[in-house]
Amino acid sequence: MVAPLIGTAAEPTALFPRPNVAGGMGPDQRKNLSVQALAGCESVTELSVRHGVSRQFVYRQAHRADAALDEAFATADDDERVLFTLPVTKGWLRQFTLAQVLIGHTSYRGVGEILDAAFGLAGLSVGTVHNILAQAVLRARACNDAVDLRGIRVGAHDEIYQAGRPVLVGADVASTYCYLLAEQDHADETTWGVHLLDLAERGLAVKYTIADGGLALRAGQRAAWGIPCHGDVFHTERDLGTLAFFLEHRAAGCTTAREKLERKMQRAKRRGAGQTFSKRLAVARQAEARAVALAGDVRLLADWMRLDILPAAGPTRVVRGELFDFVVDQLDQRQPLCPHRIGPVCRALRQQRDNLLAFVAVQEERFAELAQRLAVPALLVQQVSQLEAADPNNSAYWQAEGLLRKKLQAQFPAVQRAVRNILAETPRASSLVENLNSRLRNYFFLRRDLGDGYLDLLRFFLNHRRFLRSQRPERVGRSPAELLTGRPHDHWLELLGFRRFTTN
């Protein structure tokens, strides 16, 4: 027998091993091999022989390609699909922290917990969050100081208390721009006067302001600016409504007590002891009659004040003043029936009478200017404004409207349109600053100590954050600063020096 030659192709040995073809294959070659295996045109054995690889290697490439195709065309589970990649930098973390605190109303500890839960970034301390906000305060103050306040004509002032300390608030009624947000130890005349003088140096020169019945606020404004401070009809209407509701609730309680005594008396009559409850029932019926009558009278007076005296459209200032005095006198006559409730309301109404009706003088002044500009009688302009207070579903409305059309002729549409604009543009309440206070409370309750820096940053954010929605279409998509100045600005994060992330 002849021994085979060493190292021939028929019988390789360890001295001349077969080259590792599979290890030398590149990505394109592996992809082509897997496609051929999935196509099934050749058997796995034929592919392994032709490419010089093992059958197991061909199977592995085929399984990998098959899994890749399943993942590419999978529609059942879309949660794992990568939408975009996010480059997390220190700048991005600072933006995220500011957005969480200012948009999400998140506490300092909550920001760190969110980063840990959503991104696996543990270790963000409360001090780090504080430092991030402190670094943004300098740019925020610069932006606040750069806004021109000369366009503000009517301001709304109020006080909000945090941990027993007052925060002075002032906002523009037209644009909602907040020009004053300062925490102080006291809210006295001097404190208000100092802040108002500082605002005057920055160019703020309003015609008048609107505020509640706070005496220190009004005294400080009178000393610093010497301009009128109109009353807030919102608080007056609310106080009268609360009084009427209380008396109605008390009357309902008297009715319940009377019905209960009547049921007891009916049961006692069946036992022959009906006289036991006779006197008590008579007293209960008298008390119910007084309570029901008082509740009805006060509700009627409250409706007169809300619907006839304090609405935007209505009679002249002289007539409103007479109606106002009548309502207060009628309340005062009923004060002995519930002195602890009616007395404070009567005193407040008497003290604020002229301030509450001050908005009517503003309207009448503008009506006079309108009459002069259009060359029509001022009386007819006043009658058009009174027409706006009437009910269009009533025939009397259309009779009055037809008479005014006949007198004004072709000028009636222009007069009516201008009167409606005047009524809509004349503020009667400080409800805007009350709304601002309600938004501020969502930030204040997370902190016991506010600090000037935090308030400056918060004021910057509220003034430069664009409205997502509003009952007034002209405010949607614009910030208070843009509404005040009429000029657009960058996103509030970009104003603070950050570069916002975009998916494009």
Q: 102 in a domain, yes or no?
A: no
Domain count, the chain: 3
Q: 317 in a domain, yes or no?
A: yes
Q: 189 in a domain, yes or no?
A: no
Both 310 and 403 in a single domain? no
Both 37 and 63 in a single domain? yes
Both 404 and 333 in a single domain? no
Alpha carbon distance, N-terminus to C-terminus of the chain: 77
Both 279 and 371 in a single domain? no
The full 3-state SS of 432-474, as one line of letters, equals HHHHHHHHHHHHHCCCCCCCHHHHHHHHHHHHHCCECCCCCHH
The H or E element containing residue 369 is helix 358-374
Q: What are the backbone dihedrals phi and psi of residue 337, each rounded to the nearest 5 degrees, phi first?
A: -75, -25
Query: What is the per-residue pLDDT for 7?
Result: 42
Q: Is 65 exposed, middle or buried (0-12, 13-18, 19+ CB in 10 A)?
A: middle
Q: Of 42, 109, 65, whose CA–CA distance to 447 is shortest?
A: 109
Q: Which of 405, 425, 445 delimits the end of a domain?
A: 425
> Under DSSP, is residue 79 helix (H, G, I), strand (E, B) or coil?
coil
Q: For residue 97, give the amino acid letter.
A: T
DSSP states of 159-225: EEEETTEEEEEEEETTT--EEEEEE-S--SHHHHHHHHHHHHHTT---SEEE--S-HHHHHHHHHHT
Q: Which of 323, 341, 356 delimits the end of a domain?
A: 356
CB neighbour burial string for 218-230, b if at least 16 within 10 angstroms, e if fewer: bbbbbebbeebbb
**Residues near 334 by Cβ (< 8 Å), separated by ≥ 6?**
294, 297, 298, 342
Q: 55 in a domain, yes or no?
A: yes
Q: Which structural domain, as residue segments, surrounds residue 394? A: 361-425
Both 296 and 381 in a single domain? no
Q: What are the backbone dihedrals phi and psi of residue 249, each rounded to the nearest 5 degrees, phi first?
A: -65, -40
Give the residues of the chain that fall short of pLDDT 70.
Answer: 1-19, 72, 74-80, 274, 448-450, 504
Both 310 and 261 in a single domain? yes
Both 302 and 383 in a single domain? no
Report field, pTM of the whole predicted structure over 0.85: no
Q: 79 in a domain, yes or no?
A: no
Q: 431 in a domain, yes or no?
A: no
How far apart, in whole angstroms, are the C-alpha atoms of residue 55 and residue 51?
Answer: 10
Both 352 and 275 in a single domain? yes
DSSP states of 281-293: HHHHHHHHHHHHH
Q: Which of 356, 377, 393 delimits the end of a domain?
A: 356
> Under DSSP, is residue 310 helix (H, G, I), strand (E, B) or coil?
coil
